[in-house]
Amino acid sequence: MNFIYLGDYKKYPDAKVNPTLLWEYDLSDFDFQQMRNIVVQRVIGRGCSND
């Protein structure tokens, strides 16, 4: 399993979150910065290493 230190996120500008992890939100106007707690919880709980 690969881990990325969350402080290194700027090193991965092409990183993508699988949209199915946030299925109940409209991602066209989703504020990832404001909703970062939800995103991190979903990726850790249900995501894969590519997320």
Rounded CA-CA distance 27/24 in Å is 9
Q: What is the pLDDT of residue 36?
A: 86
Q: What is the pTM of this model?
A: 0.68
More confident residue, 33 or 49: 33
Rounded CA-CA distance 6/51 in Å is 12
- In single-letter form, the type of residue at position 39 comes to V
With 60 as the cut, is the pLDDT of residue 1 above it? no
pLDDT tens track for 16-41: 889 999 999 999 999 988 998 898 89
Q: Is residue 22 a contact partner of residue 39, using CB atoms and an 8 Å limit?
A: yes
The tokens describing 28, both together, are: 């066209």
More confident residue, 45 or 16: 45
Which among 2, 1, 32 is positioned nearest to 17, based on CA atoms? Answer: 32
